Amino acid sequence: MAQYLLKRLGMTLAVVLLVLLFLAVVPHVIPGDPVENILGPRATEARIEQVRVEMGIDDPIVTQIGSFMWNALQGDLGRDFATNRPVTAMLAQALPHTVALAFASLGLAVLLGIPFGVLAATKPDSMLDRFTSVVSVSFITVPSYVMALFLLLLFPIWLGVLPATGTGSLSEPLSYLRHLILPASALAITWVGYFARLVRASMLEVVGSNYIRVARAYGLRERVIHYRYALKNAVIPSVAILGVSLGQLLGGAVFIELIFNRPGLGKLALDAIAARNYPVLRGSVLMVALLFVTANLVADLSYRFLDPRIRVEEKAT
Amino acid sequence: MRATRTSEVGRRRQRGGRILASLLALMLVVAACAPDDAEDLAVDDPEAVDEAPDEEAPDAPPTPDATELRIRTVMDITSLDPAVMPSTTDDAVAMNVLEGLVAYEPGGSGQLINVLAEEIEVSDDGLRVEFTLREGVQFHGGYGELTAEDVKYSFERTAGLIETAVATSYASDWATLEEVEVTGTYTGTIHLSAPFAPLMINTLPGNAGLIVPEAAAEELGEDFGTNPIGTGPYEFVEWNPGQEIVVERFGDYHGGMWEHLPEPQWERIVFVPIEDAAAADIAIETGAVDMGQISTGSVGRFEADPDFIVDPLATFDYGWIGMNVQDEILSDVNVRRAIRQALDIDSMIAAGFDGQVARAHALISPEMPIGYWEEAPVYQPDFEAARAHLDEAGVDELDLTIIIDEQVGSREIAEIAQANLAEIGINLQIDLLDGGEYREIARDAQQQLFYISFSNTADPSWATVWFSCEQVGDWNYQHWCNEEFQELHEAALVETDPDERHDMYIRMQEIMDEDAIAAWVMYRTNLYTYPADMQISLVPERYGKYLAYNFLR
């Protein structure tokens, strides 16, 4: 186990280093000078020069890449050269909004998707199964931004409930949650369908296995069989894709943050791209990458934790 | 007030339709994966208006709060430091927090009013400006009383005469400043090395004339821009990046503005940056903000709703299709004339801006106090005449490229130009570039045709400067250097007689027309929308802006 953990951590570190290297190189392969672009036509030579020096743009490329990576490893991601704020502070401000959104969506997806899948698997090919299939497949095919617009139309505009834009303040948790409902639902909907389909498929597989037949022979109630015995095994593939889905959610969050005007990581990155604000862009992409690899690592480890067979097989080899 | 309303009939229907159309617009933007330029939307779908299921529409917007004003801004702030202040959003916020010696009277009279100055007088030779400050003016944040030393510091800092943490961007607004002499606690004299015509038009009433306390600016250095200290009726309280910028009533305000305006009702003014235009429409519609700029595509829908007023405000900003005269093909004036003659500008305005901007015939807009060329020729597409110009140049079947960036209307303009030029045997390729790449290509004269728009301030010199010889290889993307134009541009900067200056700027535009360096497209209009029970206060001389605290509800 320790060996596996080490190997897995090593791989994660390698990915992070690769991302860092990529981010260090990016500004040098994209055409265009960010400085003049941002400061506008009326900036004096002195101001342009000042910002260029601050950004280290005139240093040799290798020096720039080296110092970026070295500083990044020490937790210094530079400063936003437009507002002079440290990038790490900007990330710290944006991160909670994105994490809250991602976890709220994931939570919703799991809470709704899994019972949905189990329900469908209890009576395969029944009307109920067909109905849930249609619903889950439709959920999967609706892009989150379309769902976002539909929800916007339905709740804040027609019904006049729930806020349409912004995040509310973290110091007022209730208001914050109210602001979170629509964006999280919009982002979750695809995954509700996806989890439902996945759980249904693996449930059907598990229900056909010997130990379930034994359970039936013992006369256990169907509900107990499904939720206590079958689900335990059937849920493992879903856990495995949790990590991947978190990454996908972070990608989808860009659109959702734009539509709901939430100042999260996605919006930060998007604005940074538009402004050629490299320090901010690097910081936000790095943060997304870190979230992604961490989620994958956790999913990997929890997978082994949930399924003792993997551990047993490892010992046997 | 320029407002537009329609009858009560069909109002609910229209409102539902407008929202649906906003959503569709938002969806299109997102679906196209181009979620950037705030004003980049143009969806006007009459079908959607008719089919909207809207019976459930709540009639009353949320009860307005009479002490808090919320305004949508197109972008977030970057710096409110008057020496750097890069964007119009920065400026809109700064107008509540920072003050200068004088300001334009809100409402568009064009008159200057004294703010921090008790008296101000320009000498006959235009080389000295003597001022006396209002006494007892306090800076925010306990930075003490305003003195002539702060005026000296602020002006010399923006002019780049003293070394500071942030290098100034606006030295050219103080091009001929020699020094500010402090003659007493509250008195001083601005000394110029040569008369400077924009001084009382653009410098003193504009950004470059804003006054900051020396102590705060030195103490905060680069952070002053996001923690600005001024003397204005509102003090800067908080900035939550991407969410809101909050200013609150300043208890020790000197009251100078209240000699000209009623005292404001707002305890707090909150600026909410919403970059996406369709998201902004929804925020205005649901009452999440009280007022904001909308895109040209939303005008019709908001105008049809009696609950809202759309207030168009013409600006000095201008957009044009420029031609790089250093290009081999375009160096021939007859080719340039042929292109200008073939372009259908009216269609470009209809397609690119939903007809919501004014067509430009020359560089200076009619809103500018001086320099508007009324008799400028209006070119309508005439393919015969255009072909005749090409014959004169001795060419046919040309291949040309136009570069555009993500600016509003660019694509439509380029596509119409492509169709127009095809009629006269010119094959036009369209290159859509991002801002940085566009700038590099245009600066280095690698382009042929280009569409771009520039913002502009209340003096025509800030438009002509970009066509001057010293800007070739920088912002003069035509790479055009005309001796007579250059001389006139320089002379007009020091000429103080407005009539003389007016004639000079007309002549400059005639030269541009003779040399056919551009096909003028539009003068931008800012479209502000707000609930019908509100009155807003516009200050056209400040680049088409508004004075937030003077709004009424």
What are the tens digits of pLDDT across the range A114-156? 888 888 888 888 888 888 889 888 988 988 888 998 898 888 8
**Which residue has tokens 């245009």?**
B442
CA A253/CA A188 separation, integer angstroms: 10
Is residue A269 within 8 A of residue A133, CB to CB? The reply is no
Residue B303, domain member (yes or no): no
CA B39/CA B74 separation, integer angstroms: 8
**Which residue has tokens 């290798």?**
A62
Residue A234: how many CB atoms within 10 A of its CB?
A: 24
Residue B244: how many CB atoms within 10 A of its CB?
A: 18
Question: What b/e readout covers B422-441, taking b as 16+ CB neighbours within 10 angstroms?
Answer: eebbbebebbebbbbbbbbb
Residue A79, domain member (yes or no): no
Q: Label residue A165 left, alpha or beta by phi (over 0 means left) and psi (-120 to 50 means alpha).
A: beta
Best CA proximity match to A36, nearest among B130, B533, B475, B137:
B475
Shortest alpha-carbon distance between residue A218 and chain B (Å): 54
Is residue B367 within 8 A of residue B315, CB to CB? The reply is yes
CA A95/CA A266 separation, integer angstroms: 9
Residue B180, domain member (yes or no): yes
Reported as type and span, the H/E element at residue B469 is none
The CA distances from residue B128 to A312, B194, B208, in Å, are 91, 9, 17
Shortest alpha-carbon distance between residue A46 and chain B (Å): 6
Residues 478-507 of B with CB under 8 A from A: none
**Would you call A40 and B86 a contact, using CB atoms and an 8 Å cutoff?**
yes
**Would you call B226 and A260 a contact, using CB atoms and an 8 Å cutoff?**
no
3-state secondary structure of B268: strand
Tokens of B290: 């009280």
Average pLDDT across chain A, whole number: 84
How many domains are contained in chain A?
2
Kindly write down the DSSP assignment for every residue of B231-262, as one continuous string.
Answer: SSSEEEEEEETTTEEEEEE-TT---GGGGTSP
The CA distances from residue B286 to A146, B469, B532, in Å, are 19, 50, 14
* Residue span of the structural domain in which A56 resides: 2-73
The answer, for A270 touching chain B at a CB cutoff of 8 Å, is: yes
Residue A86, domain member (yes or no): no
pTM: 0.81
Kindly write down the DSSP assignment for every residue of B27-49, as one continuous string.
Answer: HHHHHTT----TT------HHHH
Shortest alpha-carbon distance between residue B215 and chain A (Å): 20
Domain co-membership, B170 together with B237: yes
Alpha helices in B141-276 (DSSP H): 148-158, 214-220
Segment A270-286, tens digit of pLDDT: 888 877 788 888 888 88
Segment A230-260, tens digit of pLDDT: 888 888 888 777 777 887 788 788 889 988 9
Residue B321, domain member (yes or no): yes
* Residue span of the structural domain in which B159 resides: 1-291+534-553
The CATH number linked to B272 is 3.40.190.10
3-state secondary structure of B102: strand
Residue among A157, A258, A270 whose CB faces B285 most closely: A157
Closest-CA residue of A relative to B80 is A83
Q: What are the 10-residue block averages of pLDDT along chain B, 553 residues in total?
A: 36 44 50 36 34 38 73 90 84 94 88 94 94 96 96 95 82 92 97 93 92 94 92 95 92 93 94 88 90 90 93 92 96 96 96 94 92 95 96 92 92 96 95 84 93 90 93 92 96 91 97 97 94 90 85 90
Domain co-membership, B342 together with B281: no
CA A176/CA A309 separation, integer angstroms: 42
Best CA proximity match to B108, nearest among B551, B535, B548, B545:
B545
Residues 203-222 of B with CB under 8 A from A: 222
pLDDT at B63: 53
Position with higher pLDDT, A45 vs B500: B500
Tokens of A31: 């055409």
pLDDT at B2: 37
Nearest-5° Cα angle at B536, B535 to B540: 145
The answer, for B309 touching chain A at a CB cutoff of 8 Å, is: no
Helix axes of A236-259 and A144-152: crossing angle, nearest 10 degrees: 60
Q: How confident is the model at residue A19 (pLDDT cuts 50, 70, 90)?
A: confident
Residues 59-118 of A with CB under 8 A from B: 82-85, 90, 93-94
Residue A183, domain member (yes or no): yes
Shortest alpha-carbon distance between residue A140 and chain B (Å): 17
Q: What value does the CA radius of gyration of chain A take, rounded to a whole number of Å?
A: 24
Residue B335, domain member (yes or no): yes
Domain co-membership, A240 together with A279: yes
Q: How confident is the model at residue A64 (pLDDT cuts 50, 70, 90)?
A: confident
Domain co-membership, B274 together with B328: no
Beta strands B449-454 and B308-323: pairing type?
A: antiparallel
Domain co-membership, A193 together with A295: yes
How many domains are contained in chain B?
2
Contacts of residue B27 in chain A, CB cutoff 8 Å?
Answer: 145-146, 149
Domain co-membership, A184 together with A299: yes
Number of H helices, E strands in chain A: 15, 0
Closest-CA residue of A relative to B471 is A41
The CATH number linked to B518 is 3.10.105.10
Q: How confident is the model at residue A313 (pLDDT cuts 50, 70, 90)?
A: low
**Would you call B275 and A158 a contact, using CB atoms and an 8 Å cutoff?**
no
Q: How much is the ipTM here? A: 0.74
Contacts of residue B31 in chain A, CB cutoff 8 Å?
Answer: 143, 145
Tokens of B296: 């040209």
Contacts of residue B36 in chain A, CB cutoff 8 Å?
Answer: 270, 274
Helix axes of B333-342 and B383-393: crossing angle, nearest 10 degrees: 170
Closest-CA residue of B relative to A30 is B437
Residue B307, domain member (yes or no): no
3-state secondary structure of B179: strand
**Would you call A270 and B36 a contact, using CB atoms and an 8 Å cutoff?**
yes
Domain co-membership, B331 together with B398: yes
pLDDT at B306: 93
Best CA proximity match to A30, nearest among B440, B36, B442:
B440
